[in-house]
A = this chain, B = another copy of it.
Amino acid sequence: MTGNSFGRIFRVTTWGESHGEAMGVVVDGCPAGLELSEADIQRELERRKPGVSEITTARKEADEVKILSGIFDGKTLGTPISMLVWNKDVDSSPYESLKDIARPGQADLTYQLKYGIRDYRGGGRASGRETVARVAAGAIAKKILASHAIQILGHVVEVGGIRARNVSKPLQGFRGQRGGAPLVEEIIRNAESTAVRCADLEAARRMEALITEVKEEGDSVGGIVEVIALGVPAGLGEPVFDKLDAELSKALMSIGAVKGVEIGAGFEAAGMKGSEMNDELYLQEGTIRTRTNNAGGILGGISTGEPIRCRIAVKPTSSISKPQRSVDLEKMEEVEITITGRHDPCICPRIVPVAEAMVALVLIDYLLRAPGR
């Protein structure tokens, strides 16, 4: 059964195994006439690359994107856009010793149980490398969204219990105007300036210290990523099942390491009273706004025009070098394993562009739909 496509109007189909020939994506439904080049895609791919910082280095990936169809004279044709990134300089030898082992926390076990076969090299299809394709497709979505003045901002807000200041709070009001463009730029600049992609520079330092520490222990650590979409028009979302928040949850939870999703107040809402939670309405220059944004920009599954706010829980990287108990699937006996090689002790900063891409893919799909009336 199929599961490698996302979206109904702007439909993305990804393919590729970590150590196979290439990773790729076909984007079907991109409107014709959009100026698009490989550079537009490459820019976003650079952001998800490992090794951009000292703390999170791992496999060296060149990740040069090639566009194979759908573009003519620098513009989209309205036909499918096929893109790929060749898997170069792949060394599969470290995986030979683990080829029969189901590594704890990884998809080895379930792929073997479901398919009866798996490409054990580098995690195969279940590798985080699959997100290259998501980011490439998301780059196109982001470019179209930007032309509608919709901006998507992702950053790390918590790592291993260290919580950043709520720097985006002023943006959470109506259409982001309470913080405004300068604040958005500042958050992006600050977040991108740190290895951990956290806009609270002081917290970022502590997070980085923690990451270095767990790395030395051969361990890893999780965190929380926040994504805010600014400038989203009111009216996006299709009740009662294809609500905007429902699709966002699916999109974000489909990222390998994500274990939780919040919209607006999220789990805090569980402890609130209605009189605290309800966002009161008021008029600002003839436009209806809400004073707070506990709803996260979505009511009844439809966007309000306020900023959309999502938060995701990212689990610690499963690949750790500490010894772990596991099972040899071939011999069916218990073993102790140690995963060698360089591991990324905290994937949160690399999840940021992926989460942004998924939010972009959800939004573009609704934006390109016919309106409700």
Contact = CB atoms under 8 A, between A and B. Distances in A.
Contacts of A273: 160, 214, 219-222, 316
Contact of A28 (B5, B315, B324): B5
A267 B259 contact: yes
A47 interface: no
Interface string A65-100: 011111011011111111010000000000000000
Interface stretch (A53-61, A119-127, A173-181): A119-127
- Tell me how many chains of this kind the complex includes: 4
B4 A79 contact: yes
B243 A118 contact: no
A2 B20 CA distance: 28
Nearest to A282: B334
A332 B221 contact: no
Nearest to A218: B275
Interface in A1-40: 1-11, 13-17, 20-24, 26, 28-29, 31-33
Given A240-B4, A326-B281, A77 B124 contact: yes
Interface residues of A, number: 155
B281 A102 contact: yes
A271 interface: yes
A101 to B, nearest CB: 9
Most buried by B among A2, A286, A332: A2
Given A2-B29, A105-B278, A223-B270, A15 B302 contact: no
A249 B277 contact: no
A300 interface: yes
A369 B370 contact: yes
Given A69-B24, A107-B300, A239-B125, A261 B278 contact: no
A70 B67 CA distance: 20
Given A370-B368, A372-B115, A270 B300 contact: no
